Chain A
């Protein structure tokens, strides 16, 4: 299954990665070369193998979802770039049509 340039541009879009033309060509070659080494797996007979959910025979233990949440409220102010009234101030997105006006 050869990787095409169109594949690379498609998966870059899925992965939210901006890939320009020259880099797309390079990645097409690189991913194609790497995936060629994976073809060996198609030769392995695995008709009755059930992929294990965990690495142990017993799988991952199931427990109540009751882990304590650390109290980080005291440290928020020290790590936040900017806060007001207990809320984070985040940069505006340029897509907000009124961003320029509000910034002004």
Chain B
């Protein structure tokens, strides 16, 4: 079908080829494994894959061929290989969360997102390395060693979904799933030069996602392009009765936004062509519209401080100029309470983590240390051996801010300021702004081992964490490079308006073209 190597094929191109019988799902999956070997995805090099089962994946590919031959709908992601962050429950592969405490743990059920991916014909090929229990911004906190950035192995891939971002950047799969609590999809996407999406809180079911901070956690997607991410999100989004926080809001056809259609329309003439149904074949990546006429994009001054890396600022200004050239109005706005987001986040997230991680005590899951001093001693020994330094630090921090005498001063206060941060976003969107544009991170990727101070590491999330606190969707798109390292630009929209977010991201990607990776 194509002379392109498999590692260059977009998800939609693979789906078209597999559905039409021009590509073999077995060949596609085998190509993923070959690419993983070629790029050194194992622990001796990039260290981005924690587990994989070649034979099981090939067997699943053959089932996909049977589905195709019996005229069963193969779905949006027919034959598309995908990797999953190792905190998403799978039946066949372990789910370790990058922790010793869950070493070898295999879940008895699978996450809803995995079921949906399979229903759409996607092929899970591996579970990826991550910061332990998603606590980190560099994937250095994994009990299985740090992952490395395929752009330059001396640098971190970001985190906590660093393995998933690196797998996409390395050309192993065109899409991957990660999870976000404070920027754990967008930040590694920016560091690895790929696209990363954090959907609205409630947009994607979290059933089967190992909980870190339940009021913030959300499963996100990574893709080589905006179209890959849009296709993947469309496949996994939607209400799930198994997750009480999931929303019943309808899932639009996100790829329609690539055509520049301002809002999702159920009966638009292009709708049926883009919707993948039993008898339809998905189009190749749609032409990207370069029109943003009438779109108002906010530039929040708090996200462009004097201390911002000048090269990052320059690339952001170039993107804003492209928005203007495409007809958008760029307006300076203020999200005045955003500078308080890191202190707020690092109170609320550890507090919730200290509760969620109480379940790992040696009784029900994974590791159990030999008891030396009764059941209490067993708990303490298991958790001390099983949790790494960052998880220990955050569990203690969370326990402290929830404990008697400190609850009001820290936890309650942080919740109140969180409400103010969310109010700032509401006010900006209510003023007629359709989207907000910011740098994804203050700097490009940093060298492995360069940051040892915990709070300095936390500051990596300074531009991403607000979207989690406010519950709004956000996407990171490559906007250029500083030296040889990728830089991401972030588009934030209001609750459940992923459609506008994708529309702007498609336009930016098309406008920048190759400049996004130079």
Partner-B contacts on A (CB < 8 A): 1, 3, 7-8, 10-12, 14-19, 27, 30-31, 33-35, 37-38, 40-42, 44, 46, 49-52, 54-57, 60-61, 63, 65-68, 70, 72, 75-76, 79, 90-91, 93-95
B471 touches A56 (CB 8 A): yes
Chain B residue at smallest Cβ distance from A80? B108
Most buried by B among A1, A41, A67: A41
Given A33-B455, A95-B374, residue A11 in contact with residue B403 (CB < 8 A): yes
CA distance A60 to B215 in the complex (A): 10
A67 touches B242 (CB 8 A): yes
B219 CB, min distance to chain A CBs, angstroms? 16
Given A34-B455, A37-B455, A57-B426, residue A49 in contact with residue B416 (CB < 8 A): yes
B242 touches A17 (CB 8 A): no
Given A27-B393, A75-B91, A93-B378, residue A55 in contact with residue B417 (CB < 8 A): no
B403 touches A56 (CB 8 A): no
Partner-A contacts on B (CB < 8 A): 91, 106-109, 201-202, 215, 241-242, 244-245, 247-248, 337, 340, 342-344, 346-347, 354, 358, 361, 363, 368, 370-372, 374-381, 383-384, 387, 392-393, 395-397, 399-400, 403, 406, 409-410, 412-420, 422, 426, 453-455, 469-471, 495
Give the residues in chain B near A18, CB-CB below 8 Å: 377, 380-381, 383-384
CA distance A14 to B59 in the complex (A): 48
CA distance A3 to B426 in the complex (A): 36
Interface of A is mostly: loop
Interface of B is mostly: helix
A77 CB, min distance to chain B CBs, angstroms? 10
Contacts A15-B358, A27-B393 given; 13 further ones with Cβ under 8 A?
Answer: A15-B396, A16-B361, A18-B383, A27-B396, A31-B396, A42-B413, A44-B413, A52-B418, A55-B422, A56-B495, A67-B244, A68-B242, A94-B372
B422 touches A52 (CB 8 A): yes
A44 touches B395 (CB 8 A): no
Give the residues in chain A near B403, CB-CB below 8 Å: 10-11, 14
A87 CB, min distance to chain B CBs, angstroms? 15
Give the residues in chain A near B377, CB-CB below 8 Å: 18
Give the residues in chain A near B370, CB-CB below 8 Å: 94
CA distance A35 to B109 in the complex (A): 39
Q: List 29 A-B contacts (CB under 8 A).
A: A10-B403, A11-B399, A15-B399, A16-B380, A16-B383, A17-B396, A18-B380, A31-B396, A33-B453, A33-B455, A34-B397, A38-B343, A38-B347, A42-B409, A46-B417, A49-B416, A49-B419, A52-B422, A54-B215, A55-B422, A55-B469, A61-B244, A61-B245, A61-B248, A63-B241, A63-B244, A68-B242, A79-B107, A94-B378
CA distance A46 to B340 in the complex (A): 13
Chain A residue at smallest Cβ distance from B459? A37
Chain A residue at smallest Cβ distance from B360? A16
CA distance A89 to B265 in the complex (A): 56
Chain A residue at smallest Cβ distance from B241? A67
Chain A residue at smallest Cβ distance from B395? A15
CA distance A44 to B415 in the complex (A): 12
Give the residues in chain B near A42, CB-CB below 8 Å: 409, 413
A49 CB, min distance to chain B CBs, angstroms? 4
- B414 partner, pick from A34, A37, A41, beta carbons under 8 A: A41
A75 touches B108 (CB 8 A): yes
B416 touches A46 (CB 8 A): yes
